[in-house]
Amino acid sequence: MTDDTRTTGFIGAAVGRQPTTLEEVLTSSGAWKRAAAVSAILFGMGCAFVPRAFADEDAPQNPAVAVDAVPISDDAAPAAVAACGNFAQALDGAATYYGEFSDSFEGSDYNDPAVQSSNQVGRTALRQAAGVALDAANTPGLNPSVADPMRAWSADATKLLLKMALRVPGDSLNTTATEMNDDATNAQQACAAAGTHA
C-alpha cells in the first residue's frame, strides 16, 4: 500500500492500516455513530424534563387569590410598588394551592385521588405564580436587590412543581418549600426596604 492509494473508513482499519486524520478515526471506529446516538439520547432526556407550556386540563382557569392593596410609602419607587404588588399575588396563590396539596399529601401518597387532584391544581398554581414572580422581577427600573430574591423564588417554585410532577417524596418537597419561604422572606424584606410591601 502506497501513500497515494489511501484506503479510508472501516475497510482501511480492517486491513491493519492506522487512521491518520480525524475523519478516518471517526469513520473507522464508528465513533460518529456512538456520538450521534449519545447526542440523541441526551437531547431526548433534556426534552423530557422541560416544563410544558400547556396547563393541566382540569385545573382552574385562574387559581390566583386577590389581595387588598396595602398602604405604601410616599418615597417608594413606582417599579418597586408594581413588582412587589405582583409578587404578593404570586405568593398568595402559590401558598393557598400548594398548602392544599401539602395537607392532602401528609399521611398519604401520590396514588390517593385527593392527592392527585390537589397535585394537579398545586402545580398549575405554582407554574402561574413562578411566571408572575419572574415578570415582577423583570419590571423595568426595579432595583436588583428587590428583583434577585423574586427570581430565586420563581426558580424554586419551578423546581417544586417539577418535583411534584415527578412524584418526588415529601422530604425533598419540604426542602424546596423551605428554600421558597427563605426567598419570599428576602423579597418581602427588600420590598419593605424599598418602601412598599409584598
The pLDDT of residue 194: 86
The pLDDT of residue 4: 47
| pTM, full prediction | 0.63
Separation of alpha carbons 103 and 84, rounded Å: 28
- 23 and 106 in a single domain? The answer is no
Residue 71 falls inside a structural domain: no
- 85 and 38 in a single domain? The answer is no
- 34 and 93 in a single domain? The answer is no
pLDDT-above-90 percentage for the chain? 39
**46-78: burial string, b at 16+ Cβ within 10 Å, e else:** eeeeeeeeeeeeebeeebbeeeeeeebeeeebe
DSSP alpha helix (H) spans, the chain: 9-14, 22-29, 31-48, 78-105, 113-137, 144-165, 170-193
- 104 and 155 in a single domain? The answer is yes
What number is the average pLDDT over the span 9-32? 52
Q: What is the pLDDT of residues 174-191, one digit of tens each?
A: 899 999 999 999 999 998
What domain count does the chain have? 2
Under a CB-based contact definition with an 8 Å cutoff, are residues 170 and 55 in contact?
no
Name the residue with higher pLDDT: 140 or 17: 140
- 120 and 168 in a single domain? The answer is yes
Grid-cell match 475497510, residue found: 11
pLDDT bin (cut points 50, 70, 90) of residue 143 is very high
Domain of 155? 78-193
pLDDT at residue 170 greater than cutoff 50: yes
Under a CB-based contact definition with an 8 Å cutoff, are residues 148 and 139 in contact?
no
